[in-house]
């Protein structure tokens, strides 16, 4: 069995007049994340973790933020493309763990839905999908509610 791990990180700025997407679901909030796609910061961190695990660069290399093709695209579509690359190399996802750092909105009521959403998009049992939400204790840019950041790790495996 060949196993590999990957780590991903992303941060997006919170702005007015954008919808907020985290983990493939829309979360009601007065602001949303700024970005070329729908700016789903958690999905982007997961894409980078997967790309890291197969040593294929990062999401910015794969999906240019100047390409009109990706303008306002649901990030779940980008994740499906990345999953295709991982599976093409013969890997399956063992498990995934994530951290969302958001001062606001409170994500506790949405964690279960985020977990189910990731489980369904990634075709991984939801018992293998970790979703954790933290605040930044009021410190720094994240603490001032200027943005939301995420970390993700994945473990992938294939029979060798």
* Residues found near Mg ion in the complex (CB under 5 A): 10, 44
- Least CB distance to Mg ion at residue 134 (A): 19
- Least CB distance to Mg ion at residue 39 (A): 6
DSSP notation for 72-113: T--HHHHHHHHHHHHHHTT-EEEEEEEEEE-SSS--GGGHHH
Q: Which is nearer to Mg ion, 72 or 125 (CB)?
A: 72
For residue 128, the SS3 value is: helix
Minimal CA–CA distance to 14: which of 27, 32, 29?
Answer: 32
76 CB contacts (<8 Å, ≥6 apart)? 24, 40, 43, 121
- Least CB distance to Mg ion at residue 44 (A): 4
Q: Which is nearer to Mg ion, 3 or 7 (CB)?
A: 7
Q: Which is nearer to Mg ion, 10 or 38 (CB)?
A: 10
Q: Which is nearer to Mg ion, 37 or 117 (CB)?
A: 37
How far is 12 from 37, CA to CA, in rounded Å? 11
Q: How large is the angle between the packed helices 41-53 and 111-122, nearest 10 degrees?
A: 40
For residue 60, the SS3 value is: helix
- Least CB distance to Mg ion at residue 70 (A): 11
**Residue nearest Mg ion by beta-carbon distance:** 44
- Least CB distance to Mg ion at residue 79 (A): 12
Q: Which is nearer to Mg ion, 128 or 152 (CB)?
A: 152
């Amino acid at each position: 069995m060949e196993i590999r791990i990957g780590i991903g990180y992303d941060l997006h700025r919170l702005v007015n007049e954008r919808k907020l997407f985290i983990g493939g679901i829309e979360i009601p909030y007065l602001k949303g994340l700024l970005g070329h796609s729908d700016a789903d910061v958690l999905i982007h961190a997961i894409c980078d973790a997967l790309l890291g695990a197969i040593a294929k660069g990062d999401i910015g290399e794969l999906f240019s933020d100047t390409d009109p093709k990706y303008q306002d695209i649901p990030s779940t579509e980008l994740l499906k493309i990345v999953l295709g690359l991982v599976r093409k190399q013969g890997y399956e996802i063992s498990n995934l763990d994530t951290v969302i750092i958001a001062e606001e909105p409170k994500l506790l009521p949405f964690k279960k839905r985020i977990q189910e959403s990731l489980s369904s998009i990634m075709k991984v049992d939801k018992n293998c999908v970790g979703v954790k939400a933290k605040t930044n204790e009021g410190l720094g840019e994240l603490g001032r509610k200027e943005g939301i950041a995420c970390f993700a790790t994945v473990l992938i495996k294939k029979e060798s």
